Each structure stands twice: as structure tokens, then as C-alpha cells.
């Protein structure tokens, strides 16, 4: 096999595009509707400049920090994603990679591997749930996560109900049996290396979500679980407070994009927030998280740990987010590209790329500690931030 190492997330993405069936690739790359937010998440970072120094650069800064009570080798963690047949080892490969690199991970309740297997590979796992199904089954999911050893809960509130995508959603089967495999043959057969990775494990990809069922029910397919989420009335802040007190441990509300909501999340018991628009999968045109990050930080101060996710593709993006007030960031698509290209090794590669980029940027800015970063290190266009709520 050619050298699987890649030097940037962009290279990993290009290779993933070649390797994955078109339907799988486009399900990952996609954002809601016109994809305005999905691309804005990235272009907003491009609009921010950095102010390097020349003589007097440092030899780097220690990058280790604490994320939701967990020691982390850098201010980066893995954001939960419902992995869509990217690699047969799925979240277990991600867990091994993050454990090897000393960073925590979030596991989606729509992920493809049981939480017990993921925690066994990385004990620094946070479990992510949606407000889906009846309240008893949410409790059962939390109990199972606790029993498995999850060290925190992430509740994601920003998935949107908008379906139509201008580029046309791929057709994704619920399960791949022989008949479906034949139907999808034109898409899949052009991707022999991807097919081979599944064939080696003597199985076909399926979209089962093993962390969703409760009470001994069979593992539902992704769309069945999605339907359960769609059919559940959205929670109130009192509901979220109930969830936080029931969990009674590190508790992140993911998806906040406004200062007033950040305060409510803290009042409800959040110990962490991720400023996020679900990677451009909330209602389209919701602002890039980096644009609303300072508003959220100003609203909650140090009452909870403020993180952000959306559009992080390089270490300098992480430094920009930290300079604007985030304590850490979460990676989404970036690690999925690495996973697609080279399984565990690909995720490690992505984490190394990000780490290398943070280190280079810290040196260039002349910093010897993450605490030294401030908005003064960033060149910010005058109309970059929207008016605060
Ligand atoms: C394919 C895909 C699946 C996702 N599934 C989930 C999920 O199950 N739970 C969740 O909280 N967020 C999910 N997200 C959102 C990510 O956790 C994260 O917020 C987003 O990907 C960050 O943006 P980025 O991809 O630009 O880094 C998903 C994102 C993608 C691209």
C-alpha cells in the first residue's frame, strides 16, 4: 500500500473522497439546505488573521489542559458523530487513536459501536445523547453509559429538522444485504479499497445504532432512531435541568450559538458548553460558531467551560478559537477523513497534524503558554461579530 501518511486535513479529505463511496462521502461533507453555514464555518476562520512576531519566538508551549475534568494532551477533543459506514472499526478505532494521543472523545448515541467497547479502548469517553424517545429510555441510556464508565454527558440540542439539501441527499440504505448491495453496486464497486476493508472483517456495512435501544430491544437502524428523535417534542430548559441533575457529573450542552442561551444552559446545570451549529446542520445561515464565541464567553464568564466546534481544519484554527476565548475545541469532519483513509492510524495522523499546527502557531506568535493567547493576537475584520443577543 502507498504511504498512508498525510500532511494536512485537506489531503486526508481528498483521499477520503477517492476512497469512500460517493453516498458515504457526501453524507459526511454535507450541510443543511444550501450549505451556507457549513462553508461559512470554514471561511470565517480564513477571515481571521494572526499577528506573528519574528525575533523572540519561543520554542513552543505546553499544550496539555483539562477538558470536562479529563486531562488532555492538547485543547482538542473528538466531537461525537453518527459514523456512517466510514470504516469497519468505526468509533473503536477513534477511541484507540485518541487514547494513544491522550485526548478525550465524544461518542454519539447514533454511533456504530457499543459504548462498552469504546470506553474499553479510551476510558476518557463522554457519551452524547439527543432528546429522543420517552424520558425513561433517556434515563436508561444514561444509566448504561454510566455503568460502562462514560466520564461525562453531552446533550446535543442543535440538530435541525430541515431536510432538503440543494445538492441532493444521497440515498442511504438502512441495512446492506445482498439485494441492496447490488442496487448500490455502481457506487460501491468503484471503491475497491473501501469494500476490501469491510470484506476483511467478513461483513457488510450496516447502519445499526447499538447505543440507542433500551430494555433489551433489538438494535435499530439509524433511520428508526432518527424517526424517534423527530417524533419527540423538543425539551424545555427545565427538561435539560432535570437531565443534568440526573446525570450528576460533567455535563455539556452542545449547540449553543447565543449568549442568552448560554446563560440558561449554565442555570440548567451545564458544566460545559460547545458553541456549535452542528457542523452546518442546524438551520442553514446560523452563524459560524467562531463568530458568536466571544458573545458566549462574555455571557457565562468562568461559570462553565466554553468550547466550540465547527470548521476546525488546522492547528491555527484552534489557536484562533483559544485567542477568542474558547478553552478547547472539538473536531468533527477532520477526524472522519482520517478514519476513512487509514482507520486508527488516520485519526492519529489528524491529531498529529492539528497538534503540529498549534505548536507552530504558538511559536510564531511568541507564546510560551496557552494562557497568553488573547484577541490581540488575532486580526479581526471590523464587522466579523454579529450584534450580541
Ligand atoms: C456526518 C456527521 C455526523 C454527525 N453526527 C453527530 C451526532 O451524532 N451527534 C452530535 O452531537 N453531533 C454530530 N455531528 C456534529 C459534530 O459533532 C460537530 O458538531 C461538527 O461536525 C463540527 O463541525 P466540523 O465537521 O466542521 O468540524 C455530526 C457531524 C457530521 C459531519
* pLDDT tens digits, 341-361: 999 999 999 999 999 999 999
Report DSSP letters for 321-372, one per residue: HHHTT-SEEEESHHHHHHHHHHHHHHHHHHHHHHHHHHHHHHHHTT-SSGGG
279 lines ligand 1 (CB under 6 A): yes
Read off the pLDDT band of 179 (50, 70, 90): low
pLDDT at 9: 98
Whether the predicted pLDDT of 172 surpasses 70: no
Please give the pLDDT value at position 317. 99
The DSSP secondary-structure symbol of 286 reads P
- Alpha carbon of residue 172 to chain centroid: 21
Q: What is the dihedral of CA 278, 281, 284, 290, to 10 degrees?
A: 20
Ligand 1 atom with the shortest distance to the CA of 41 = 26
Q: Whose CA is nearest to atom 6 of ligand 1?
A: 81
pLDDT for position 237 = 98
Read off the C-alpha cell for 28: 459526511
Of the chain, the percentage scoring pLDDT greater than 90 comes to 82
pLDDT digits (tens, 9 = 90+) for 197-233: 887 877 768 789 999 999 999 999 988 999 999 999 9
CA torsion angle 241 242 244 246 (round to 10):
160
CA 40 to chain centre: 17
Q: In the prediction, which pLDDT does 109 show?
A: 97
Residue 167 binned pLDDT confidence (cut-offs 50, 70, 90): confident
Q: Which residues touch 175 (CB under 8 Å, ≥6 apart)?
A: 206, 207, 208, 221
74 lines ligand 1 (CB under 6 A): no
Measured between alpha carbons, how far is 362 from 368 in angstroms, rounded to an integer?
7
Would you say the CB of residue 278 lies under 6 angstroms from ligand 1? yes
Atom of ligand 1 nearest to the CA of 278: 19
Task: Record the pTM.
Answer: 0.95
Q: Which of 114-123, 161-170, 223-232, 286-295 has the lowest mean pLDDT?
A: 161-170
Interval 33-51 mean pLDDT = 97
Predicted local confidence at residue 206, as pLDDT: 77
Closest atom of ligand 1 to CA, residue 42: 26
Annotated catalytic residue, options 87, 163, 184, 278: 278
Instruction: Report which secondary-structure segment, H or E, holds 72.
Output: strand 70-72
pLDDT of residue 176 exceeding 80, the answer is no
CA of 79 to the centre of ligand 1 (A): 6
- pLDDT tens-digit map of 67-112: 999 999 999 999 999 966 899 999 999 999 999 999 999 999 999 9
| Whether the CB of 258 sits within 6 Å of ligand 1 | no
The residue assigned the cell 427538561 is 239
Average pLDDT over residues 127-153: 98
The pLDDT of residue 349: 98
How confident is the model over 166-193, as a mean pLDDT?
A: 69
pLDDT-derived band at 1 (thresholds 50, 70, 90) equals low
C-alpha cell at 333: 469532519
User: What's the gap in Å between 156 CA and the centre of ligand 1?
Assistant: 10
Please tell me which residue, 206 or 46, carries the higher pLDDT value.
46
Give CA torsion, residues 346, 371, 377, 257, to 10 deg: 70
For a mutational test of ligand 1's pocket, the pick from 84, 209, 278, i.e. the residue with the most ligand atoms closer than 8 A to its C-beta, is 278
**CA terminus-to-terminus distance, the chain:** 53
- Alpha helices for the chain (secondary structure H): 9-19, 22-29, 36-47, 90-101, 115-121, 135-148, 178-183, 185-188, 192-200, 222-230, 237-247, 259-267, 289-300, 315-323, 333-364
CB of 28 within 6 A of ligand 1: the answer is: yes
Q: Note the pLDDT of residue 165.
A: 85
Helix (H), strand (E), coil (C) string for 180-212: HHHHCHHHHCCCHHHHHHHHHCCCCCECECCCC
Q: Is 87 a catalytic residue?
A: no
Cα 170 to ligand 1 centroid, rounded to whole Å: 17
Q: What is the mean pLDDT of residues 356-380?
A: 98
Cα distances (angstroms) measured from residue 246 to each of 132, 142, 239, 249: 16, 9, 11, 9
What is the pLDDT confidence band of residue 380, given thresholds at 50, 70 and 90? very high
Look at 162-176, 194-208, 315-329, 364-378 and tell me which has the smallest mean pLDDT.
162-176
* Contacts for 176 with CB less than 8 Å, ≥ 6 apart: 184, 204, 205, 206
DSSP 3-state assignment of 111? coil
Using 50, 70 and 90 to split pLDDT, how confident is the model at 169? confident
Amino acid at each position: 500500500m502507498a504511504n498512508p501518511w498525510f500532511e494536512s486535513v485537506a489531503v486526508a479529505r481528498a483521499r477520503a473522497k477517492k476512497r469512500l463511496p460517493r453516498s458515504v462521502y457526501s453524507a459526511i461533507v454535507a450541510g443543511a439546505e444550501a450549505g451556507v453555514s457549513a462553508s461559512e464555518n470554514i471561511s470565517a476562520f480564513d477571515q481571521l488573521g494572526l499577528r506573528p512576531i519574528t525575533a523572540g519566538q519561543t520554542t513552543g508551549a505546553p499544550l496539555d489542559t483539562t477538558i470536562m475534568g479529563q486531562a488532555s494532551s492538547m485543547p482538542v477533543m473528538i466531537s461525537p458523530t453518527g459514523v456512517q459506514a466510514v470504516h469497519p472499526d468505526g468509533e473503536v478505532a477513534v477511541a484507540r487513536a485518541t487514547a494513544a494521543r491522550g485526548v478525550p472523545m465524544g461518542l454519539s448515541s447514533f454511533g456504530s459501536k457499543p459504548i462498552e467497547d469504546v470506553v474499553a479502548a479510551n476510558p476518557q469517553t463522554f457519551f452524547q445523547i439527543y432528546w429522543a424517545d420517552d424520558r425513561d429510555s433517556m434515563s436508561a441510556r444514561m444509566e448504561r453509559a454510566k455503568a460502562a464508565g462514560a466520564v461525562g454527558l453531552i446533550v446535543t440540542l442543535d440538530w435541525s429538522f430541515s431536510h432538503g439539501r440543494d445538492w441532493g441527499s444521497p440515498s442511504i440504505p438502512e441495512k446492506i444485504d445482498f439485494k441492496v448491495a447490488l442496487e448500490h453496486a455502481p457506487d460501491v464497486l468503484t471503491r475497491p479499497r473501501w469494500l476490501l476493508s469491510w470484506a476483511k472483517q467478513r461483513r457488510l456495512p450496516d447502519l445499526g445504532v447499538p447505543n440507542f435501544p433500551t430494555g433489551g430491544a433489538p438494535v435499530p437502524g439509524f433511520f428508526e432512531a432518527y424517526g424517534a428523535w423527530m417524533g419527540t417534542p423538543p425539551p424545555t430548559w427545565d427538561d435539560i435541568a432535570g437531565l443534568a441533575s440526573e446525570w450528576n457529573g460533567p455535563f455539556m450542552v452542545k449547540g449553543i450559538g447565543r449568549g442568552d442561551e448560554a446563560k440558561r444552559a449554565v442555570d440548567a446545570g451545564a458544566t460545559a458548553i460547545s458553541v456549535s451549529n452542528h457542523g452546518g446542520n442546524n438551520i442553514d445561515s446560523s452563524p459560524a460558531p467562531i463568530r458568536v464565541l466571544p458573545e458566549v464567553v462574555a455571557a457565562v464568564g468562568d461559570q462553565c467551560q466554553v468550547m466550540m466546534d465547527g470548521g476546525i481544519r488546522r492547528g491555527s484554527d484552534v489557536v484562533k478559537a483559544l485567542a477568542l476565548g474558547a478553552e478547547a475545541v472539538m473536531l468533527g469532519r477532520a477526524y472522519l477523513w482520517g478514519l476513512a483513509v487509514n482507520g486508527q492510524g488516520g485519526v492519529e495522523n489528524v491529531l498529529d497534524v492539528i497538534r503540529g499546527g498549534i505548536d507552530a502557531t504558538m511559536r510564531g506568535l511568541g507564546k510560551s503558554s496557552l494562557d497568553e493567547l488573547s484577541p490581540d493576537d488575532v486580526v479581526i475584520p471590523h464587522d466579523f461579530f454579529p450584534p450580541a443577543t
